[in-house]
Amino acid sequence: MPSPPTQVRCLLVSKKSSQLEASNTSGLSSTITASRVYLSILQAADYTTATPSWIEEQLRNGKLPYRWIGNKRVIFRRDLDELMESLPVETGLCDVPAFIEKSQKGKAAA
């Protein structure tokens, strides 16, 4: 019978604040407040602690709707919240990748 996968505790860190600092490259206000209805890509990344490239990937894949205001894409915060709520919830335990498990067994044998 195969042995169960080894598990380790994974720590997740998130920003929880009513105000998140926006990137100065956005050219907009330096603060995002929780009451803002729509966000730029950079502000959405700051709001979720994701990277701008991940936000853009969600836009391209159709998982995150956006609107055009002038020549800028904007994301409604409620849509972003719905996407984040739809992501799988982690338990804090995750499987150890096989290459780490092998290297640990090799060290124990030495």
Model confidence pLDDT, tens digit, residues 28-51: 444 555 567 999 999 999 999 999
Q: What is the pTM of this model?
A: 0.54
| pLDDT of 34 | 56
| pLDDT of 25 | 43
Q: Which fold has domain 15-90?
A: Arc Repressor Mutant, subunit A (1.10.10)
E-strand ranges in 1-110 read: 7-9, 19-21, 31-33, 38-39, 67-69, 72-76, 93-95
Give tens-digit pLDDT for 50-92. Answer: 999 999 999 999 999 999 999 999 999 999 999 999 998 877 7
Q: In the chain, where are the structural domains located?
A: 15-90
